[in-house]
Chains A and B, each alone.
Chain A
Amino acid sequence: MTVVPIIKRDHICKLAEQGKRVDGRNFGEYRKIEIETGVVSKAEGSARVKIGNTQVMAGIKMDVGEPYSDSPDSGVMTTAAELIPLASPDFESGPPRANAIELARVVDRGVRESEVIELDKLCIEPGEKVWIVFIDLHILDYDGNLFDAASLAALAALSTAKVPAKRFELGDDYPLPLKEPPISCTSVKFNNVVAIDPSLDEEEIADARLTVATDTNGDIRAMQKGLNGSFTREEIQKVIKASIDNGREIRKQLYENIGK
């Protein structure tokens, strides 16, 4: 494990007391986002998202399989994340641990609960054959805020995905049916300040983390609080407000990138 020097923590906290962040941003300022789609030819849809130095790749694969018995005329989606040792000196290879599983589940929830993928349109033969959508998240470079980078990469990849009907002899390929996606924004709290889009330096000293996914109406569609610290009611309101504001900007950029 990389050891974080105590004086580095103290310095970041001292800066925070003066209203500054270690990379020169203000507390409500998001890092630069870059979105690139269609980066992998074997995937039905793919995207690479950079938030500052953090880089995540998402790939969508589809297959034909059996539906769940409680939803016989609905497609199936599943999300997996790998914190591969490529991305950080502290990631180990092997089966996904709690952090990777939480990441995959938070991204999954943002997509599933807002019904971004219209699963009811992915039925081929009710009770027999439906489309299965696999969202795979590959972390390439870890410099903080994987939650936002991973969900944005998943959305960008889904937005450009084509259902590979031809390969399965089920007619022509067509775009994956999607609804307006919610956008996730994460904030952390350290030394009693709340900062959006934490860098790794800030994540390492954070007491608490809150991810809020908001839709086009500014309504809340998914939330996840993490780490062993706590938020006050006022802080939560502040995080939600920041998530709605930044979510709007990020959505605009996503739409520009996917030509919507």
Chain B
Amino acid sequence: MKSDIELIDSNGKRLDGRGPEDLRPIKIEAGVLHRADGSCYLEWGGNKVLVAVYGPREAIPRHSQNPLRAIVNAKYNMAAFSVEDRKRPGPDRRSREISKVISEALEKVILTEQFPRAAIDVNIEVLDAEAGTRCAGLTAAGVALADAGIPMTDIPVSCAAGKIDGHVVADLGKEEDNFGDADLPVAISPRTDEVILLQMDGHLTLDEFNKAFDLAVNGCHVVSEIQKKAILDKYQSASEAE
């Protein structure tokens, strides 16, 4: 969809004042829920996401168990009031697909072979949605998994890049997502830069893809530092407490 809005001006300034490589403001808090084994609350631009991790616990029904490793069940769900036009409660095809690709991405970093026949449930609730909810959800899931004490080779992190008015930029905002030319969400294991989630829609030349990919990976590293600080803040302060 094309619009009359100029998404980026001649100085490379975007609608919300960001430069091409800048991310929206991000706030992360670990360990926010009472019942969950691990949890995280994350705000990313206008997105608000809450994640709860349960497990590893016995996988039910029993026929779903894998005798060699734990299964990872990410469930991405949007609250009915999280979008402009009310969303019917419950999973639809879009949320099922996102749940699947996020589950697979998380499986890559979780040391699942330590828990045969078990399930690790990662419940991602989008409370307020404004472009890039799957990146926000996966990033919050990484923090919640660490908070639950789940063994992992890395804390997974995600960030998108895209193309607006012919320019490649990081972390698309609301209008940029609606009226942009391409969106490229990426998730990585930041220690090794291995790509664990990659999707794209729109239109990119190979050069543009390479540029967008680099921007997304750089964005991941910026977010990764915020994730790590959020976890350390939670437990460092606890270990200093009187």
Q: Which residues of A contact B (CB under 8 A)?
A: 39-43, 46, 53, 55, 57, 59-61, 63, 80, 82, 84-89, 93-96, 134, 136, 138, 140-143
Q: A41-B128, A57-B127, A86-B52 in contact; A93/B77 too (CB < 8 A)? A: yes
What residues of chain B lie closer than 8 Å to A46, measured between beta carbons? 81
What CA separation (Å) do A85 and B83 show in the bound complex? Answer: 21
Interface residue count on the B side (C-beta < 8 Å): 31
Contact B50–A140 (Cβ < 8 Å):
yes
Interface of B is mostly: loop
Q: Encode contact with A along B50-65: 1 for CB under 8 Å, 0 otherwise.
A: 1110100100000000
Which B residues are closer than 8 A to A by beta carbons?
33-36, 46, 48, 50-52, 54, 57, 75, 77, 79-86, 89-91, 121, 123, 125, 127-130
* A61 partner, pick from B50, B75, B86, B123, beta carbons under 8 A: B86
Instruction: From B46, B51, B83, B128, name the one whose CB has the most chain A CB atoms within 10 angstroms.
Output: B128
A sample of 14 cross-chain residue pairs with beta-carbon separation below 8 angstroms, ordered by A number, consists of: A40-B48, A40-B79, A41-B128, A41-B130, A43-B82, A84-B123, A87-B52, A89-B57, A96-B89, A136-B80, A136-B86, A138-B79, A141-B35, A143-B34
Which residues in B have their C-beta under 8 angstroms from that of A88? Answer: 35
If A84-B77, A89-B54, A136-B80 touch, whether A42 touches B123 (CB-CB below 8 Å) is no
Contact between A63 and B127 (Cβ–Cβ < 8 Å)?
A: no
A94 to B102, CA, bound (A): 19
Contact of B81 with A85 in the complex, beta carbons under 8 Å:
no
* Nearest A residue to B54, CB-CB: A89
Which chain A positions have C-beta within 8 A of B125? 84, 86, 138, 140
Known A-B contacts A42-B82, A136-B80; A93 and B75 likewise in contact (beta carbons under 8 Å): yes
Take A140-B33, A142-B35, A143-B34 as given contacts and tell me if A80 and B128 are in contact as well, using a CB distance cutoff of 8 Å.
no
Kindly provide the distance from the CB of B135 to the nearest chain A CB, expressed in whole angstroms: 18
Cα separation A86 to B141 with both chains bound (whole Å): 12
Residue on B nearest A52 in the bound complex, by CB: B34
Given A40-B81, A61-B86, A138:B127 Cβ within 8 A: yes
* Top 10 A-B residue pairs of the complex, sorted by shortest distance between their CB atoms: A59-B81, A61-B86, A53-B34, A136-B80, A43-B81, A86-B123, A86-B52, A40-B128, A141-B33, A85-B123
